[in-house]
Amino acid sequence: MQIFLDTANIDQIRQAAKLGIISGVTTNPSLVSKEGTADYEAVVKEICSIIPGPISVEVLVEGTQAMTQQAKLISSWAPNIVVKIPATSDGLEATSALAREKIKVNFTLCFSLNQALLGALAGATYVSLFVGRLDDAGHNGMEVVKDIVDVFAHYQLATQVIAASIRHPQHCVAAAKAGAHIATVPYKVLMQMIQHPLTDVGVTRFLGDWQRISKQ
């Protein structure tokens, strides 16, 4: 399973990039707005220059024509951009049109197997299943991820499944076990993934033991 970083924060992206395990970044309008700038293009271009992998960038308009047109503009900002299109009927039409023109789409805001399947049939490169928001609504988001992964494998669909709206490290474990191709994680969750108190205790004990013998 690949790890994408789910943020538009440049410092977090730079920090995470140093770890050498980030394959891409996903953003959305809420994440970009949190950074306090209305210069969407500048933020996106900076992210694209830091991480060479796929960078998902969402359209900011509604309607098939407007989304398709804006998606083309956004995808021209950098070669590694994947355009995020919402899982609506307009979005499906836009995704089909963009896929025909070889523009990569992340079919986003998916909450069901049906939405994901339609996105894949339209030619989306990725579908993003919002696990945390489904859990919030009383469903089991990761079961939907597993169903999508199984169905895509059964029908040999090339579309990759992104477990998105990840809230805690157990979501990452479950995403990997469900066979998600990618989990896109907030920076805080990424840091939680590497932490274990027994590792810290072990490092302290190893170094302490070595210091005792090396001072004799």
Q: What is the dihedral of CA 13, 18, 20, 24, to 10 degrees?
A: 10
Q: What is the DSSP letter of 183?
A: E
In the complex, the smallest distance separating the C-beta of residue 41 from ligand G3P, rounded to whole angstroms, is 20
Of 32, 85, 87, 164, the one binding ligand G3P by CB under 6 A: 164
Of 9, 26, 64, 95, the one binding ligand G3P by CB under 6 A: 26
Short-list 55, 126, 141, 44, CA closest to 85: 126
58 makes contact with ligand G3P (CB under 6 A): no
12 makes contact with ligand G3P (CB under 6 A): no
Of 133 and 181, nearer to ligand G3P (C-beta) is: 133
132 makes contact with ligand G3P (CB under 6 A): yes
Using CA atoms, how far apart are residues 49 and 209, in angstroms rounded to an integer? 44
**E strand spans, the chain:** 2-6, 22-26, 55-58, 81-86, 105-110, 126-130, 160-164, 182-185
Tell me how many residues contact ligand G3P (CB under 6 A): 11
133 makes contact with ligand G3P (CB under 6 A): yes
28 makes contact with ligand G3P (CB under 6 A): yes
Confirm whether 84 is a catalytic residue: yes
Of 130, 145, 163, 189, the one binding ligand G3P by CB under 6 A: 130
In the complex, the smallest distance separating the C-beta of residue 144 from ligand G3P, rounded to whole angstroms, is 14
Short-list 78, 119, 77, 116, CA closest to 98: 119
In the complex, the smallest distance separating the C-beta of residue 132 from ligand G3P, rounded to whole angstroms, is 5
On whether the CB atoms of residues 171 and 192 are closer than 8 A, the answer is no
Residue 195, Cβ neighbours under 10 Å: how many? 9
Taking only Cα atoms into account, the Rg of the chain, rounded to an integer number of angstroms, comes to 19
Marked catalytic residue, from 18, 34, 45, 84: 84
Binding site for ligand G3P (CB under 6 A): 6, 26, 28, 31, 128, 130, 132-133, 164-165, 184
Active site residues: 84
